[in-house]
Amino acid sequence: MVCIGINSLVAQSSSKAKTLLDEVYTKVKSYNNLYIDFKFELDNKTEGIHQETKGNVTIDGDKYVLNYLGATKIFDGHKIYTIIPDNEEVTIENKGADDEGTITPSKMLTFYKDGYNYKWKESKNIKGREIQFIELVPISANAEVTNLLLGIDTQTKHIYSLVENGKNGTATTITVNTMKTNQPLPKNTFVFNKDKYKKLGYYISE
């Protein structure tokens, strides 16, 4: 009887979590585009490492422009262009099969749809917003992460934060500072201007 009760509670927890995640997914997919300003933190207590930085990303379907760690990364749907001003360098790569298992910017708000078991966790009031946390545990034993903790604003159905706990003891946290939806985007937002960087004297690696 006790086992049946525990199994029932686990099933209810998973079902509640999946329902909320489905609502988030539906909301995110309804937008034409998204602009997100975020804070990124990396921690490894064993190694005594703590790093903080800020970034922003514009997402339209699979396409994105990511500004992060002093570099700009553009994905036009076919190729990834990484522009590093400090090195005056641009690298151009084809989208590879290796990207399928990684959380790219275009998957950042929808990655949780497949490959995880869900657990309903605590709810916290953060700056007047009710944030519901859901734990995601990878189904694959070969995953590089132990678990992820997704914080969701219950009113807007937007993702507030994502904590990824790696098997190597490193925890990375992305916190959304601001999110704007359906912004008017210039036609060339996701276009890499090769001539521009050639004239600037950048080294272009393909």
Average pLDDT value over all residues in the chain = 87
The rounded percent of the chain whose pLDDT value lies above 70 is 89
Residue 98 in this model has a pLDDT that exceeds 50: no
Q: Radius of gyration of the chain from Cα atoms?
A: 19
What pLDDT digit, counting tens, does each position of 141-172 carry? 888 889 999 999 999 999 999 999 998 899 99
What pLDDT, on the 0 to 100 scale, is given for residue 104? 66
What pLDDT, on the 0 to 100 scale, is given for residue 96? 57
Residue 173 in this model has a pLDDT that exceeds 50: yes
What pLDDT, on the 0 to 100 scale, is given for residue 10? 53
What pLDDT, on the 0 to 100 scale, is given for residue 43? 92
What pLDDT, on the 0 to 100 scale, is given for residue 79? 92
What pLDDT, on the 0 to 100 scale, is given for residue 110? 78
116 phi/psi in degrees, rounded to 5 = -135, 150
C-beta pairs of 174-178 under 8 Å, 24+ apart in sequence? 174/38, 174/39, 174/40, 174/108, 175/38, 175/39, 175/41, 176/36, 176/37, 176/38, 177/37, 177/38, 177/39, 177/54, 178/36, 178/37
Among 12-16, 23-27, 49-53, the minimum mean pLDDT is found in 12-16
Across the range 190-203, mean pLDDT stands at 94
Q: Which DSSP helix (H) or strand (E) runs through 120?
A: strand 116-126
What pLDDT, on the 0 to 100 scale, is given for residue 146? 92
* Confidence category of residue 175, pLDDT binned at 50, 70, 90: very high
